[in-house]
Amino acid sequence: MTRTPARKITARLLLALGGLTAMAVSATAAQGAERLPRDNAAKDHRGCVVVYFDLGETLIHTADDGSIRYMPGAAEHLRALRARHIPVGLITNVPSDWGKTDAERAAKLKTVVAEDWKDSRPFAWSDFGDRILTPRTEAERKPAATLWERARGASGDCRLVYQAETTDEIDASRSLGYVPYLVGRPHWPLFMPVQLISALAHLPN
């Protein structure tokens, strides 16, 4: 069976999404070259992509009764990314006094979410590893650029995707060279299609 070249597949996917991602990718190529650290171990893994998410109302929803569950489609989206071995991370605002390090603040976040978690499926914390970035000071809270910049510094030469439900965060991430996706829009996929995310890794820098 004849295989369609990867670049043709990528182009068709970008066109299918109305050029939104194509514009963001152009911004990445134009803005990212000077910022990417060249001594990071990830530089040896050409064709990589890391997907970062906001947490509240992007991956999880807090109901009026205080209970917390996955947002529609979120568990399935994370599972699909996991199946393709695509790394994921969180860029999320929490109180800076929850801990002195990202690890301490992440531990507190997990405890807070667990207290009111009512979904039948456990939240996939293990997917994120140590890629849970939170503000060290209140001045670092999104939409300040700091957390996205820290995520970029930890990701080497990988292309970066950011998915969230608010336009101010989407705009901020785009300005910093991320490929953004606004979740929850009517008549659009709930999350950026995993096939497209995988294809983004193979676009020329």
- What is the share, in percent, of the chain residues with pLDDT greater than 70? 77
Alpha-carbon distance 20 to 47, whole Å?
21
Q: How confident is the model at residue 205 (pLDDT cuts 50, 70, 90)?
A: low
Output the six-digit token pair for 112. 């807070």
Q: Are strands 159-164 and 60-62 parallel, antiparallel or unpaired?
A: unpaired
Alpha-carbon distance 80 to 193, whole Å?
9
Alpha-carbon distance 124 to 128, whole Å?
8
Q: How confident is the model at residue 110 (pLDDT cuts 50, 70, 90)?
A: very high
pLDDT computed for residue 16 by the predictor? 46
Full-model pTM: 0.80
pLDDT computed for residue 7 by the predictor? 46
Q: What is the pLDDT of residues 126-164, one digit of tens each?
A: 999 999 999 999 999 999 999 999 999 999 999 999 999
Mean pLDDT computed over 199-204: 86
Q: What is the pLDDT of residues 71-103, one digit of tens each?
A: 999 999 999 999 999 999 999 999 999 999 999
Task: Give me the architecture of the 6-200 domain, per CATH.
Answer: 3-Layer(aba) Sandwich (3.40)
pLDDT computed for residue 47 by the predictor? 74
pLDDT at 39 over 80: no
- Computed over every residue of the chain, the mean pLDDT equals 84
